[in-house]
Amino acid sequence: MIVRPKPNLINILTSLKGSIARKIALRCLMVTLLASIIVLVETLHPNYFAKVNATPFTLLGLSLSIFMSFRNNACYDRWYEARKAWGEMIVAIRSMIRETQVIKDAHARQNILRNLCGFAHALNAKLHGKRELDAAGEWLEPRPDDNAPDISGRILNHVGEQCSALGESEAISEFRYTIMANHLTSLSRSQAACERIKHTPLPFAYTLLLHRTTYLFCLLLPFAMAESLGWLTPVFTAIVSYTFFGLDAIGDELEDPFGRDENDLPTHAMVRNIEREILAALGETQLPPALEPVDFVLS
């Protein structure tokens, strides 16, 4: 995720970090070169473009803008829902830190909290396509089987068993156990929401239609502007293609908030914050440093 101060006019015009410009530069350049060739042909053979009307392009551009806004809104909803799911997970873990303060057995409390930290590491690794045990193994006691299909879920099951055992031994009250069980349910709900977003992309036909229409519009637009605008056509074509290709590319980034793009969620930083809070709650004084943005990018 991009973390930087509010840009001024110079930053707006010159910033590339976090901008989509580098990803679409080649496409915009190709469309601009095509527009230049079309203007050259129109200059040498003006009769070729005498009957080209710009009205259909106006209607198509308006329709494409509306369609693209719907898709980008859907992609942003996925990004924001993912952030809310991680926010709810952080709240639940902080609540568990607070509720476990009544546990007299320091080892039991440590085991619960370290397993919760392992859950955060495992879920983050799972969403990024990495091995869960490699990321969470050092936090877990006992360590789950390597062949387990859902390490994150098994961690929560184990924490639930620990809380149940504490309730049965009356180390915690039944009311306290109910509250802790509710927090574990909230963690399961957050995990399910993240997995749903990760494994259920927008319908492919929906995205494909937008990609094709965007390319067709940008490629055909110079034919409508060549006669009336002349050599200004490449300039306006570049601006229009930057806008449409850029919105299209931004939607692709936001559709998967757990990817490796600059505008994706900083889940590694959130996991590190969870790790620091749990270690501090366990009395550790040498905490790992919080992750800071590198070249304005917080991972």
pLDDT given for residue 247 in this prediction: 86
Burial bucket for residue 293 (CB in 10 Å: 0-12, 13-18, 19+)? middle
- Whether 95 is in a domain gets the answer yes
- Whether 72 is in a domain gets the answer yes
pLDDT given for residue 112 in this prediction: 93
Question: How far, in Å, CA of 184 to CA of 259, rounded?
Answer: 26
Using one digit for the tens of pLDDT, what is the confidence trace for 47-103?
A: 766 666 667 777 777 778 888 888 888 899 999 999 999 999 999 999 999 999 998
Tell me how far CA of residue 41 lies from CA of 46, 215, 237, in angstroms: 8, 21, 16
- Whether 31 is in a domain gets the answer yes
pLDDT given for residue 191 in this prediction: 95
Structural domain count, the chain? 1
pLDDT given for residue 18 in this prediction: 60
pLDDT given for residue 1 in this prediction: 64
pLDDT given for residue 219 in this prediction: 86
pLDDT given for residue 88 in this prediction: 96
Structure tokens of 80?
Answer: 């924001």
Question: Could you tell me the residue range of the domain that residue 87 belongs to?
Answer: 21-281
- Whether 298 is in a domain gets the answer no
Question: How far, in Å, CA of 63 to CA of 214, rounded?
Answer: 11
Q: Which residues of the chain fall short of a pLDDT of 70?
A: 1-19, 48-54, 295-298
Q: What's the pTM value of the predicted model, to 2 decimals?
A: 0.86
